[in-house]
Amino acid sequence: MKIDGTHYRSLWWNSENHVLEIIDQRWLPHEFRVIPVATMQDFADAIYQMRVRGAPLIGATAAYGMALAMAEDASDANMDAAWTFLEKTRPTAINLRWALDRCRAALRPLPEADRAAAALTLAHEIADEDVEINRRIGENGLALIREIAARKPAGEPVRLLTHCNAGWLATVDWGTATSPMYHAQDAGIPLHVWVDETRPRNQGALTAWELGKHGVPHTYITDNAGGHLMQHGMVDMVITGTDRTTRRGDVCNKIGTYLKALAAHDNGVPFYVALPSPTIDWTVSDGVAEIPIEERDAQEVTHVQGLTDGGVLGTVQVAPTGTEGGNPAFDVTPNRLVTGLITERGVCDASEAGLSDLFPDFAKA
Ligand code: MRU
């Protein structure tokens, strides 16, 4: 993604200082702040506090965390301790566990003396693979957008709606749900994106910021507006991301996604999910019953966070003092409400047959 003429990934390795650098997303869209992640505690805090966020980016960050752990102490015991320490930071997005499992499986057979270098190489590989996966999701999603554009009078924009930020910031580059948008924009297809605000953390503001940097026309809307827009024929297609998709195609994503899928279904609007293969959890089938849903601090709901007049991040209380707040961070959209899954290998039905046809090498019995 280009920010004011410079191409950035959302994290990168600083080889001079031997440290990971990230964009501190808590400050966006107000300030573009880059910070180092230098200790294991920094890694855990960055993920839990959502300085980095989004399933693929959490996974890549965790891989660099494992590389740091191996540089500090490459023993089996420390590898297991790092796995546990990082894995417990956020429970829903499967990419975190996927990356940690992949690192542990690759590093365990190596002599301790080789593990630090191998872990860093693997973290770079995971980051690079994420970029390529998302680029391909973009190409496959572009084909769907082209089909919609072809049915419209020339020059009329394809109207998309997205929820949360499944963008460049949520991945290493391109984004998942935004990648088809960026590809369509670059291909000259007129677009307009409805961007859900996504309370309580307002990840929609990140999406609006990204789309603005890429020149994609968009409108920032409240979370409750989507159903109304769909009823009035103002949405051609919904594209969201996913934090964990089950083997039968149930999609767990940011809280509120399910309501968008219901509204889309009721109004005959295609509802697509951009799905990188590391986000498939082949071990679970029924997403509602089996996926752990992160419950975050209630203060994220009773208060609203933003940049205060003094130029610092702060909160304003909106609920009455003492009100109990509830903050489930994700929900599950059953596969019957999902029109299709846009993966790096193509678009498939949200079903066990659809996924295992595309990924026979990953599908387990
Ligand atoms: O709580 P967050 O901001 O990490 O949640 C992010 C999402 O729900 C995204 O839609 C999902 O991780 C897909 S990111 C490509």
Residues 316-347: pLDDT tens digits?
Answer: 999 999 999 999 999 999 999 999 999 999 99
Instruction: For ligand 1, say whether the CB of 170 is within 6 Å of any of its atoms.
Output: yes
Is the pLDDT assigned to residue 170 strictly greater than 70?
yes
At 57, the pLDDT band (50, 70, 90 cuts) reads: very high
Element of type H or E holding 34: strand 34-37
- Number of residues that this document lists for the chain: 365
Residues tagged active-site: 243
Binding residues for substrate: 53-55, 90, 203, 253-254
Residue 264, CA atoms < 13 Å, CB-side half-sphere: 27
ipTM value greater than 0.95:
yes
- Crossing angle for the helix pair 94-107 and 76-87, to the nearest 10 degrees: 170
Task: Evaluate whether 223 touches 231 at the Cβ level (below 8 Å).
Answer: no
Q: What is the pLDDT of residues 240-299, one digit of tens each?
A: 999 999 999 999 999 999 999 999 999 999 999 999 999 999 999 999 999 999 999 999
Model pLDDT, residue 364: 65
Instruction: For ligand 1, say whether the CB of 166 is within 6 Å of any of its atoms.
Output: yes
Model pLDDT, residue 309: 82
Q: Mean pLDDT over all residues of the chain?
A: 97
Model pLDDT, residue 311: 85
User: In the structure encoding, which two tokens stand for residue 304, read together?
Assistant: 């609203």
CA-CA distance, 241 to 55, in Å (whole number)? 9
At 157, the pLDDT band (50, 70, 90 cuts) reads: very high
CA-CA distance, 149 to 356, in Å (whole number)? 30
Exposure class string for 199-231: b at 16+ Cβ within 10 A, else e: bbbbbbbbbbbbbeebebebebbebebbbebbe
Is the pLDDT assigned to residue 199 strictly greater than 90?
yes
CA-CA distance, 108 to 110, in Å (whole number)? 6
Task: Evaluate whether 246 touches 285 at the Cβ level (below 8 Å).
Answer: yes
Ligand 1 atom having least distance to the Cα of 203: 3
Coil/strand/helix, residue 308: coil
CB within 8 Å of 108: residues ≥ 6 apart: 76, 79
CB within 8 Å of 341: residues ≥ 6 apart: 245, 249, 251, 272, 273, 275, 347, 348, 349, 350, 354, 355
CA-CA distance, 292 to 76, in Å (whole number)? 28
Model pLDDT, residue 308: 85
Instruction: For ligand 1, say whether the CB of 254 is within 6 Å of any of its atoms.
Output: yes
| CA–centroid distance, residue 151 to ligand 1 (Å) | 31
| CA–centroid distance, residue 172 to ligand 1 (Å) | 13
Model pLDDT, residue 160: 98
Q: Which residue is closest in CA terms to ligand 1's atom 6?
A: 54
Model pLDDT, residue 363: 81
Model pLDDT, residue 342: 99
Instruction: For ligand 1, say whether the CB of 241 is within 6 Å of any of its atoms.
Output: yes
Model pLDDT, residue 4: 87
Is the pLDDT assigned to residue 129 strictly greater than 90?
yes
- Crossing angle for the helix pair 112-150 and 55-72, to the nearest 10 degrees: 170
At 365, the pLDDT band (50, 70, 90 cuts) reads: low
